[in-house]
Amino acid sequence: MTATAPLQHLGEIDVETFLRDYWQQKPCLFRAAFKDFVEVISPDELAGMACDEEVESRLLITDPNSGQFELRHGPFDESQFSELPASHWSLLVQGVDHWIPEAADLVEQFRFIPSWRLDDLMISYSTPEGGVGPHYDNYDVFIIQAQGRRRWEIGGRYTEQQAEFLPDQPIRILKHWHPEQSWELEPGDMIYIPPRVGHNGVSLSDDCVNYSVGYRAPHAHELLRHLAGFCEHHSADELRFSDSTLGIRSNPGEITDADLRQVRQLLLPILEDQQQLRRWWGELVTEPKDPQLDHSAEPISADELGTALAQPGQVRRSEGIRFAFSCDTNHCYLFVDGEQHRLGTNELALVKLLCNQNSYDNSQLAEQLQQPAAAELIALLFERGQLYLD
């Protein structure tokens, strides 16, 4: 079996040129980026997913006369779809790659961006004139035209301070929309939109399907909040505020610049501790998007695992499970589902294999069973349902 390889070209542009000239800089249109594109799910199946309570989904319906949006959250009942109008609505389903192996394989093609940056694959279905209005996102996104046609209007770059939004709408719609260019996408075409660049997509057909590969861009305050929780469990107790050089003050209520320097000196060692920073970041970026999902499986013995992997076949990483790794001089660290596994450098080849693709020949893992630490790790990943026999 051949693992899904990352794209080398985006339409006529090679990946190196894209990263240098476009990534997080300016939008780009890729004609025929996916020739003979094969959909991973039909519109009817997508609607079925939206009826599942474990799947995040939304319906956006626009009043063609007033422009007012109506936002509904799933799960939906099948009968609701038959009651919808013939135009001006979109169904959006998040995290499709967390449920469908073929969707996870599609996302694997975007591994020219670090895989731990990925958020998920969202798929939308729109009737004529369906869309989510002019808006901007705070993250990078690739949008593939899978079926039908859509017109994309592209505007300028916005900041939170300058952007104004229409009042009384359930979603953020830009109040002053001035598109600078317009593209009509056919099946297989793709666009890239950087963070905070305004865009507005409108369906031009009754079978418009888009696949959006989105990336995570956590705000600094989110990182600080998560770091504080991490430090609560992993920082030394002696890291406390102190002021041994304190002198007599004429204003006891004043917070001085010297006090603030002392606070800064207290906090800096946390960020300068490379090992702690490595662990915190690795656990953060591999946290499951939906921690409620249970992937656990039956325990498997070393003999059972060896017998299973000796057979022809393949192993897959469970959909929705995030893997990443990092190394120092003496160890490599595998991060899976928000947990660190500390390993020796002898296991580095296995760790790279697990992180750099989402499916493996049985033989690739079988040969790793000769090393006790590797065998223990593989068995643990199977037991937790993070790997499975396909």
Tokens 């279905």 belong to 125
Number of folded domains in the chain?
A: 2
- Residue 282 inside a domain? The answer is no
Cα–Cα dist 76/260, whole Å: 53
Which residues are paired to 122 by β-bridges? 212
Question: For residue range 239-253, what is the model confidence (pLDDT) as tens digits?
Answer: 788 888 888 888 889
Identify the weakest region by mean pLDDT among 185-199, 221-235, 293-307, 358-372.
293-307
- Residue 297 inside a domain? The answer is no
Cα–Cα dist 329/212, whole Å: 38
Domain of residue 336, residue span: 302-389
- Residue 375 inside a domain? The answer is yes
pTM for this prediction: 0.92
The pLDDT, as a whole number, for residue 246 is: 83
The strand order across the sheet containing 314-317 reads: 359-361, 314-317, 387-389
The pLDDT, as a whole number, for residue 1 is: 46
Cα–Cα dist 230/235, whole Å: 8
Query: Are residues 40 and 171 part of one domain?
Result: yes
Cα–Cα distances in angstroms (integers) from residue 214 to residues 80, 129, 140, 175, 188, in the given order: 28, 23, 6, 24, 18
- Residue 31 inside a domain? The answer is yes
- Residue 291 inside a domain? The answer is no
Q: What is the mean pLDDT of residues 140-163?
A: 96
Question: For residue range 79-128, what is the model confidence (pLDDT) as tens digits?
Answer: 999 999 999 999 999 999 999 999 999 999 999 999 999 999 999 999 99
Query: Are residues 309 and 199 part of one domain?
Result: no
Question: For residue range 139-148, what is the model confidence (pLDDT) as tens digits?
Answer: 999 999 999 9
The pLDDT, as a whole number, for residue 304 is: 86
- Residue 240 inside a domain? The answer is no
Is the peptide bond between 288 and the residue preceding it cis, with omega within 30 degrees of 0? no
